[in-house]
Structure 1
Amino acid sequence: LVISFHISAREDFSVQATISWLLSEIFGVQNVSIVAEEDIQTISKDESASLLDNVVNTVNESLAFASKYGLQSPETTLGSTEILEAISRCNSTGGPSGRHWVLDPVDGTLGFVRGDQYAVALALIEDGKVVLGVLGCPNYPVKTELLNYHSWHHQTMAQSSLTTPDTGGKGCVLYAKSGSGEAWLQSLIDGEKMLEWPNRARLIRVSSIDDPALATLCEPVERANSNHSFTAGLAHSVGLRKQPLRVHSMVKYAAIARGDAEIFMKFAKCGYKEKIWDHAAGVVIVEEAGGVVTDAGGRPLDFSKGMYLEGLDRGIIACSGVTLHEKFIGAVYASWDSSNL
């Protein structure tokens, strides 16, 4: 567990510093406000010197490849001072006005440590509304037919379909702009094929399935912050027949946007507060791919209240279409009084 924590902390801070540095180079330090999961306090302590050294090395290694993706690489190697400055810029609390980037550097820590599903999630919020979302899913196979729903959460992707020849690339990036009506998927390419990277995106759409008996439900792996028994009851009452797909991280939103699943429900247990960085990027991608995301009362999620989804009505329901969504909203109202939440 200690080793896993240190690996996760290194990657969290490394991704956060890398994205903060890149955004600041593109838009200017004075124009960048970032709401992010990690703060400067932990890595600034004397006992965290080795962690900081590892982060510095990882960031420099990553940024060395930036130019191959059309981004700016540093003219000289970044030192600990520059890395700490980049991390310290991620101190915004968001709110109803202004422009704020929302970042979850490694969403799905357990998935990352286990070599399973995780995501790097970045969204842009303007005056309380999500206007842009990007999800990097390094272990999500590009080809839908390579997925195995019944064993996905028991196997690492390296042990399953990603070893199959001609997979079309390991991992993908999904992105969407609010109001565009378009969501895009870009495969992650290694080696010389990086040069083709900007030209390999394709449009994605949600599934057209609206029969609950044929639909696939996504839900969180961890039971600590989601009520599996309540979602199972809802699924049964609506008529779902397939086994749920339990997935770490915002890859659940990616699965719906790509048409690999039709429903994602999350009903947090009492006292748990949903953070905006766990949903912002995924929500806009699903919506622009043709899906619907609301709280369990049917209201749009409110990203204008700061770091948390304040005022959330019971839970979150994301569906590939209006028909399924309405059925689940109705099921919530019908079963809520008898639930154990």
Structure 2
Amino acid sequence: MDKGKYSEELNVAVRVVHMACFLCQKVQKGLAFSISDDVVQSKDDDSPVTVADWSVQATVSWMLSENFGGENVSIVAEEDVQTLSKSESAGILDKVISTVNECLAEAPRYGLKGPSVALERSQVLEAISRCNSSGGPVGRHWVLDPVDGTLGFVRRDQYAVALALVDNGEVVVGVLGCPNYPMKEQFNNQNQQNHTMPDIYWTSTGKHEEGCVMYTSRGCGRAWMQPLVDTDKKFEWPNFAREIRVSSIDDPELATICEPVERANTDHSFTAGLASSVGLRKQPLRVYSMVKYAAIACGNAEIFMKFARAGYKEKIWDHAAGVLLVEEAGGVVTDAGGRPLDFSRGVYLEGLDRGIVACSGVKLHDAIIGAVYASWESSNL
């Protein structure tokens, strides 16, 4: 595959995710003072949704349509306008409209063109509802999770903005914005090197302690991390990025494992049993969102396992960007049967065998897959 085939899509996606992270940071600062029905609401399945979720979706949808043509853009995304359109949601809708327009006004700072006039209510709702594609094996589909890990976002913990491009069923672009991910440790990592890529980096100065965007494209065999733009100092656009690479650790006793925080999303006891059987000794890091994939891609963890209970269906927006990042950074991601994840079958990861296993290397991955086969019959999953 031509490594430059998706350069334009990657270029725009990186900039748009930077914008979305800027938006999320502004909303999260407001959460420090007030968590009300005008900021956080519950969807029909009782999961939380915030001003940031809808605002990011509207912003990304509008920017992708402007850059690639609305008639050419298919977007698979998590949020819809049903809850937002209810009469009792008038307050949160007003906040979404103002938040979207504040973010779009910053587009020139990221080398993108924003609207000439502020978007109206109908335009914001249209941008959100435009993200109604069901994906599939044919054509190009953007896959967006506007705020992956909403509970982490509300609790000022880890969360991510995840944007990927699927082309004929294969993830070909992956961008992961992690506004609360610690940066200082990353940039001191001895495995990282300075790299500059054309069209994405402009002259700027300064380094940041926290917050980054990680990205890659299919077939390049490399992935990068960029610090977020510092809004206080009004930097224009970062002029540097660092290549990230998975850890070289393959000794189970030294390996770090990540798993979801919520018990509803995974079976912690089964994961603990697998960890013990393959010789993992460290306590697992329970992390919200796709930041788990980010930690593996940049070498801060070696393993991510997730085994949901029967009946739970994994959505493609929860994995697409993170999976590609880990793979291009040198890692391995499969289902628990050792097969690649299939992003060609719509909104869900249909045909998933038991769970998901992501590792920094083949040796650890093979050990865990073997342990799954050895212990699955005795599990209650």
Query: What TM-score, normalized by structure 1, do the two folds share?
Result: 0.91
Q: Are positions 1:336 and 2:376 aligned together? A: yes
Distance 2:207 2:228 in 1: 11
Q: Offset at 1:287?
A: 0.3
Q: Could you say which residue in structure 2 is the equivalent of 1:265?
A: 305
- Could you tell me which of 37, 51, 58 is aligned with 1:17? 58
- Could you tell me which of 215, 220, 223 is aligned with 2:263? 223
Distance 1:145 1:280 in 2: 23
Q: Are positions 1:86 and 2:127 aligned together? A: yes
Distance 2:187 2:240 in 1: 19
Distance 2:92 2:236 in 1: 33
Q: Could you say which residue in structure 2 is the equivalent of 1:303?
A: 343
**Counterpart residue identity of residue 206, structure 1:** V
Distance 1:251 1:128 in 2: 24
Q: Could you say which residue in structure 2 is the equivalent of 1:123?
A: 164
Q: Offset at 1:132?
A: 0.5
Q: Could you say which residue in structure 2 is the equivalent of 1:279?
A: 319
- Could you tell me which of 363, 372, 376 is aligned with 1:323? 363
Q: Offset at 1:193?
A: 5.5
Where in structure 1 are there 5+ consecutive unaligned residues? 148-165
Root mean square deviation of aligned Cα? 1.7
Q: Could you say which residue in structure 1 is the equivalent of 2:226?
A: 186
- Could you tell me which of 118, 130, 141 is aligned with 1:77? 118
**Counterpart residue identity of residue 59, structure 1:** V
Instruction: Looking at secondary structure, tell me which structure has more helix per residue.
Output: 1
Distance 1:224 1:103 in 2: 22
What whole-Å deviation, never above 9, does each CA across 1:243-302 have from its counterpart, x for those lacking one? 101000000000000000000000001111000000000000000000000000000000
Where in structure 2 are there 5+ consecutive unaligned residues? 1-34, 42-47, 189-205
Q: Offset at 1:194?
A: 2.6
Distance 2:71 2:374 in 1: 50
CA contact (8 A) 2:216 2:324 kept: yes
Q: Could you say which residue in structure 2 is the equivalent of 1:110?
A: 151
Query: What TM-score, normalized by structure 2, do the two folds share?
Result: 0.82
Q: Could you say which residue in structure 2 is the equivalent of 1:162?
A: none
Q: Could you say which residue in structure 1 is the equivalent of 2:203?
A: none
- Could you tell me which of 120, 141, 149 is aligned with 1:100? 141
Q: Could you say which residue in structure 1 is the equivalent of 2:216?
A: 176
Q: Offset at 1:201?
A: 1.1
SS at match of 1:176: strand
Q: Offset at 1:141?
A: 1.1
**Cα distance, 1:189–1:48 mapped onto 2, change above 3 Å:** same
**Cα distance, 1:212–1:167 mapped onto 2, change above 3 Å:** farther
Q: Offset at 1:170?
A: 1.9
Q: Could you say which residue in structure 2 is the equivalent of 1:155?
A: none
Q: Could you say which residue in structure 2 is the equivalent of 1:214?
A: 254
**Counterpart residue identity of residue 112, structure 1:** F
**Counterpart residue identity of residue 116, structure 1:** D
CA contact (8 A) 1:182 1:203 kept: yes
Q: Offset at 1:168?
A: 2.9
Q: Are positions 1:51 and 2:92 aligned together? A: yes
Distance 2:374 2:227 in 1: 42
CA contact (8 A) 1:169 1:188 kept: no
Q: Offset at 1:81?
A: 1.4
CA contact (8 A) 2:58 2:100 kept: yes
CA contact (8 A) 1:8 1:113 kept: no
SS at match of 2:67: helix
Q: How many residues align structurally?
A: 322
SS at match of 2:327: helix
Distance 1:308 1:133 in 2: 18
CA contact (8 A) 1:169 1:189 kept: no
What whole-Å deviation, never above 9, does each CA across 1:123-154 have from its counterpart, x for those lacking one? 1001111000110000001123699xxxxxxx
Q: Could you say which residue in structure 2 is the equivalent of 1:66?
A: 107
Q: Offset at 1:2?
A: 6.1
Q: Offset at 1:73?
A: 1.5
Q: Offset at 1:61?
A: 0.9
**Counterpart residue identity of residue 40, structure 2:** F
Distance 2:249 2:325 in 1: 18
